[in-house]
């Protein structure tokens, strides 16, 4: 009887490597969805990734495409510089909330506003993972981090920024959707969104932005499954899933 393969390493995942992500961290799931998309659209060898500064800084160790490393927050500008010269190639950025919504706020807003024909994967885990759990612009009210030890207080630290909604207020971007990586039932939409964000670029439709709600069990101080529940119970109510803009 012929064997039926139900699960295997995506071709775009670098052979023989395991990621450095903490156990249960959903960065890994998002990476996998990205690789599957590159495989299915057969675009691995015409795609360049722009790596962020954050826990995903070493993502080129796992995803087998060309890569440019960007300074903290500047990935959209790096991608812009590349894509304007090579419109025949695809480019994506993969950025955390510190990277994209704090230090890189200007670059993401202006890339969106020019509707650069790029794909942005925005990993919102409501914390600075890499530097050890400090407050992010997306940290929820009351959420404890190493720099908001009694919980985020809006009087001192403002309110969490909803990036998808904010970018959707601009006239130019093509596609903006928020999805989640926390539950198996979320993964279909996650994959579909990433796929669409690349398809848009292939069809020269312009700026496509996928915000992925993601966990950081280590810095949230939770077991991985509890982190997934916490995301569903606390993040989704404030960051509702859905499509905020779609030019289709």
Ligand X SMILES: Cc1ncc(C[n+]2csc(CCOP(=O)(O)OP(=O)(O)O)c2C)c(N)n1
Question: Rule CB under 8 A: which residues touch other proteins?
Answer: 44-48, 50-51, 57-58, 60, 64-71, 74, 77-86, 89, 106-107, 109-110
Between 5 and 85, CB nearer to other proteins: 85
Alpha helix segments (H runs only) across the chain: 27-40, 75-85, 97-98, 105-113, 154-157, 163-168, 187-202, 217-220, 224-230, 236-238
The residue number with the shortest CB distance to ligand X is 96
Nearer to ligand SF4, 200 or 215 (CB): 215
SS3 225: helix
Q: How far is the CB of 20 from ligand SF4 (least distance, A)?
A: 7
Contact (Cβ atoms closer than 8 angstroms) between residue 214 and residue 125? yes
- What character string, x for contact with ligand SF4 (CB under 6 A) and - otherwise, covers 48-87? -------x--------------------------------
* The dihedral sign for the CA sequence 12, 18, 20, 24: positive
Confirm or reject binding of residue 119 to ligand SF4 (CB under 6 A): no
Cβ at position 20, least distance to ligand X in Å: 12
* 218 binds, options Mg ion, ligand SF4, other proteins, none, Cβ within 5 to 8 A by partner type: ligand SF4
131 binds, among ligand SF4, other proteins, ligand X, none (CB under 5 to 8 A by kind): ligand X
Nearest alpha-carbon partner for 103 in 134, 65, 142: 134
Q: What beta strand segments (E) does 33-163 contain?
A: 47-51, 66-69, 90-96, 119-124
Residue 166 CB, shortest distance to ligand X, in Å, is: 17
Which of ligand X, other proteins, Mg ion, none lies near 39, with the C-beta cut-off 5 to 8 A by kind? none
- Site map 59..98 versus ligand X, x via CB under 6 A: -------------x-----------------------xxx
Taking CB under 6 A as the binding criterion, the range among 119-127, 149-157, 161-169, 177-185 that sits at the site for ligand X is: 119-127
By CB under 6 A, residue 128 contacts ligand X: yes
Q: Which of 116, 119, 117 is nearest to 30 (CA)?
A: 119
Q: In sequence order, what are the beta bridge partners of 213?
A: 124, 180
**How many angstroms separate the CA atoms of 135 and 76, rounded?**
22
Between CA 204 and CA 150, with CA 240 as vertex, the angle to 5 degrees is 125
**DSSP SS3 for 180:** strand
Gap between the Cα atoms of 214 and 199, Å rounded: 23
Structure tokens belonging to residue 4: 């039926």
What is the contact surface with ligand SF4 in residues (CB under 6 A)?
A: 21-22, 25, 27, 55, 125, 129, 216-219
């Amino acid at each position: 009887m012929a064997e039926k393969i139900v699960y295997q390493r995506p071709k775009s995942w670098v052979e023989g490597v395991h990621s450095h992500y903490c156990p249960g961290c959903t960065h890994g799931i998002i990476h996998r969805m990205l690789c599957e998309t590159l495989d299915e659209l057969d675009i691995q060898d015409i795609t360049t990734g722009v790596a962020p500064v954050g826990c995903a800084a070493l993502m080129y160790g796992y995803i087998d495409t060309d890569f440019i490393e960007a300074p903290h927050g500047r990935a959209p500008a790096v991608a812009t510089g590349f894509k304007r010269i090579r419109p025949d190639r695809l480019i994506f950025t993969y950025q955390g909330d510190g990277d994209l919504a704090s230090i890189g706020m200007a670059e993401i807003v202006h890339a969106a506003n020019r509707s650069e024909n790029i794909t942005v994967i925005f990993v919102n885990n409501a914390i600075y993972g890499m530097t050890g759990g400090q407050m992010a612009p997306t940290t929820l009210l009351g959420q404890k981090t190493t720099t908001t030890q009694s919980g985020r207080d809006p009087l001192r630290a403002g309110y969490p920024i909803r990036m998808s909604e904010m970018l959707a207020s601009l006239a130019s971007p093509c596609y903006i959707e928020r999805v989640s990586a926390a539950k198996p039932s979320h993964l279909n939409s996650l994959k579909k969104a990433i796929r669409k964000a690349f398809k848009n670029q292939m069809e020269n439709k312009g700026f496509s932005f996928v915000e992925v709600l993601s966990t950081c069990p280590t810095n949230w101080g939770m077991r991985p499954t509890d982190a997934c529940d916490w995301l569903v119970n606390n993040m989704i109510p404030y960051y509702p899933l859905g499509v905020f803009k779609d030019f289709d």
